[in-house]
Chains A and B, each alone.
Chain A
Amino acid sequence: MKLRSLLVPVLLACSVTAQAAEKLVFYNWSEYLPEGVLEQFTKETGIEVDYTTFESNEVMYSKLKLQKGKGYDVVVPSTYYIAKMRAEGLLQPLDKSKLSGLKNLNPALLDKPYDPENQYSVPYMWGSTGIGINTEALAKGSITRWADLWDAKWKNKLLLTDDVREVFHMALKINGHSANTTNPDEIRQAYEKLQQLMPNVLVFNSDAPREPYMAGDVDLGMIWNGEVIMAQEEMPDLDYIYPKEGAIFWVDSFAIPAGSTNVEAAHKFINFMLRPDIAKLCSEEIGYATPNLKGYELLDENVRSNKIIFPDADTVANGEFQTDVGDALKLYNDYWEKLKTGK
């Protein structure tokens, strides 16, 4: 009797470690996949998906680095992290013969300097970071530029994304520098500029920046365009502004870590996500722009014409896409910790 009760936990442990036949660990940004997509994938292919999420590129990178690229099968880094992780041997080249859906993608977003010929990554979504404003509380026209956030009247009122590159982007742009600068002086100047902004910051949030707007805790700050689209369902007064100095544009891509043990399943999954109907669903549900042209064509006319999701060419040209800054990232991060620490 005693012996048997001791055995139960041991058996439990065994059942936990026993692996299913085909499995996939998908490590994605939180709130970055519509409900039901994974279930559909499992239904169609029989591959089980373990879904875990992260809230910043840095955390994703640290976890991957700790595991030496093992443990995860598909990850979704932002562009500039693709370059970094590729250089450090954390990613493995994709087998394009297994990715028939590649042809659906917009060529304008492929073959970029961060990953020539897309050897390691396939774009999932692209979007922008701009200014979010609750038009019920504030007049929409009153805010047009990043610099408006520096106004002292917003003391303890703003939301910033919890993302070093995005926050530095604002200051670098205001100072007239490139948001992808590696010049230490320019980064330092941006840091000094941001120090003036810190008293205005109420909260940092990169999990779901829409949430504090919806809860009524903030009316103004940074936000991602897709978050605005999602929030508008319950809060039509939330609006999105492309700042005059130029919005931040980014691309998030699928990649397979070097230590992945389910490479076959990972390719199947990425190819599944490249299907026009899936791309359409993702774009619709989570509010970001899909790089999938076939998927784009399936979208509703009012979604396609929504300037928040698909800005016109001028707006895009005025903004700047994030690229890898190499070793300067350490400098950014050091300043970032100080900013978040100062009162």
Chain B
Amino acid sequence: MIPSNKPVLSLGSGLRWLFIAGVMAFLYLPIVVLVVNSFNESKYGHKWQGFSFKWYEKLWHNDALLEAFFNSLTVATLSATCATILGTLMALAVYRYRFRFRQSASALIFVVLMSPDIVLAITFLIVFMALGIQLGFWSLLIAHITFCLPFVVITVYSQLKGFDGNLLEAAQDLGAKESQVFRLVILPLLRPAIAASWLLSFTLSLDDVIISSFVTGPGFEILPIRVFSMVKVGVSPEVNVLATLLMLISLVVVIIVPLLLRRKT
């Protein structure tokens, strides 16, 4: 017997950490630039011109940017929630039931997963035009829900596959309806997958640029669209501030909330 803690393939430990540190530096370098520039007195961020909180104050008065930001949060929250609900149901349908077009349904989910954003953006634009849906809040929401769906379906489906089939059968033998089986047996077991899906959808929705820029319309501007013209112009200290704050908030939420939850249970 070989002790299993002995590395199977060994790399020098120092080398290993060096590599991880290098990759992390690569990932965080632009973030550091954003955070540092949010305190930079200079408007253009090409040079350091002294420490200042003025952009934080400016952001507070930049209604347009804040509105776009809240619109983004709204869309991300709603689309993550809807996508999680829809996706969970879809995964369940594909996993538990045999029906016509079941194969096609899973193929279509795969198509959404693999389609480049630009192709999805075009398809959405064309279908919204054809259906006469005004570009704006609803078009944005539908598009975001749809591109988040496959990630939910896959996450939930892979957890469903790990289930003990006997449990479900036992529930059914005891006379439970499908909806009861779902609510009382499946749903509680799926909780981790659902939480993960929601978080992933939320992240994807916040991060999207390509699809949003095609399907958004007048009167409902979200952050990336607002920022698109701003960043090219280079006048974006307030955007840096927003990014810094957003990251801070998410870190707090993701680190503190689980700690609180753990204490509760």
In the complex, the answer to whether A71 meets B219 with C-beta atoms within 8 Å is yes
- A41-53 CB mask vs B (1 if < 8 Å, else 0) is 0000000001111
Say yes or no: is A289 at the interface (Cβ < 8 Å to chain B).
Answer: no
For chain B residues 22-47, which have a beta carbon within 8 Å of chain A? 43-44, 46
Chain B residue with Cβ nearest A54: B229
Candidates B43, B44, B77, B235; contact of A12 at CB < 8 Å: B77
Least CB distance, B48 to chain A, in whole angstroms: 14
Say yes or no: is B71 at the interface (Cβ < 8 Å to chain A).
Answer: yes
- A183-210 CB mask vs B (1 if < 8 Å, else 0) is 0000000000000000000000101100
Say yes or no: is B82 at the interface (Cβ < 8 Å to chain A).
Answer: yes
* Residues A16 and B74 in contact in the complex (CB < 8 Å), given A50-B218, A72-B218, A215-B46: yes
Q: How far is the CA of A52 from the CA of B218 in the complex (A)?
A: 7
Which residues on B sit within 8 Å (CB–CB) of A205? 232
- A221-265 CB mask vs B (1 if < 8 Å, else 0) is 000000000000010000000000000000000000000000000
Which residues on A sit within 8 Å (CB–CB) of B44? 211, 214-215, 234
Q: How far is the CA of A27 from the CA of B229 in the complex (A)?
A: 13
Q: How far is the CA of A66 from the CA of B217 in the complex (A)?
A: 10
In the complex, the answer to whether B219 meets A50 with C-beta atoms within 8 Å is yes
Say yes or no: is A17 at the interface (Cβ < 8 Å to chain B).
Answer: yes
Q: How far is the CA of A224 from the CA of B231 in the complex (A)?
A: 19
Which residues on A sit within 8 Å (CB–CB) of B129? 66
Least CB distance, B53 to chain A, in whole angstroms: 19
Say yes or no: is B192 at the interface (Cβ < 8 Å to chain A).
Answer: no
In the complex, the answer to whether B232 meets A208 with C-beta atoms within 8 Å is yes
Say yes or no: is A106 at the interface (Cβ < 8 Å to chain B).
Answer: no
Chain A residue with Cβ nearest B220: A16
In the complex, the answer to whether A16 meets B218 with C-beta atoms within 8 Å is no
For chain B residues 84-109, which have a beta carbon within 8 Å of chain A? none
Which residues on A sit within 8 Å (CB–CB) of B125? 66
Which residues on A sit within 8 Å (CB–CB) of B234? 208, 211, 214-215
For chain B residues 137-195, which have a beta carbon within 8 Å of chain A? 137, 141
Which residues on B sit within 8 Å (CB–CB) of A215? 44, 46, 234
In the complex, the answer to whether B221 meets A52 with C-beta atoms within 8 Å is yes
Say yes or no: is A285 at the interface (Cβ < 8 Å to chain B).
Answer: no
Candidates B134, B136, B229; contact of A53 at CB < 8 Å: B229
In the complex, the answer to whether B81 meets A9 with C-beta atoms within 8 Å is yes
In the complex, the answer to whether A71 meets B218 with C-beta atoms within 8 Å is yes
Q: Is the interface of B mostly helix, strand, loop or mixed?
A: helix
Candidates A17, A53, A208, A216; contact of B137 at CB < 8 Å: A17
In the complex, the answer to whether A30 meets B218 with C-beta atoms within 8 Å is no
Which residues on B sit within 8 Å (CB–CB) of A55? 229, 232
In the complex, the answer to whether B218 meets A207 with C-beta atoms within 8 Å is no
Q: How far is the CA of A25 from the CA of B218 in the complex (A)?
A: 7
* Residues A25 and B219 in contact in the complex (CB < 8 Å), given A16-B137, A30-B233, A71-B136: yes
Which residues on A sit within 8 Å (CB–CB) of B46? 214-216
In the complex, the answer to whether A31 meets B233 with C-beta atoms within 8 Å is yes
Say yes or no: is A67 at the interface (Cβ < 8 Å to chain B).
Answer: yes
Chain B residue with Cβ nearest A206: B232
B64, B74, B141, B218 pick with most chain A CB within 10 angstroms: B218
Least CB distance, A235 to chain B, in whole angstroms: 10
For chain B residues 42-66, which have a beta carbon within 8 Å of chain A? 43-44, 46, 64
Say yes or no: is B209 at the interface (Cβ < 8 Å to chain A).
Answer: no
Which residues on B sit within 8 Å (CB–CB) of A177? none
Q: How far is the CA of A9 from the CA of B144 in the complex (A)?
A: 15
Say yes or no: is A70 at the interface (Cβ < 8 Å to chain B).
Answer: yes
Which residues on A sit within 8 Å (CB–CB) of B232? 30, 55, 205, 207-208, 211
Q: How far is the CA of A241 from the CA of B127 in the complex (A)?
A: 48
8 A-B pairs closest in CB distance: A71-B218, A30-B229, A208-B233, A207-B232, A211-B234, A9-B78, A53-B229, A25-B218
Known pairs A13-B74, A50-B221. 16 more at Cβ < 8 A? A6-B81, A9-B77, A13-B141, A17-B137, A31-B229, A50-B219, A52-B218, A53-B229, A55-B232, A63-B217, A67-B134, A71-B219, A207-B229, A211-B233, A216-B46, A234-B43
Please list 7 pairs of residues, one from A and one from B, whose beta carbons are closer than 8 Å in the complex, sorted by A's number: A13-B78, A51-B64, A53-B229, A54-B229, A211-B233, A214-B234, A234-B43
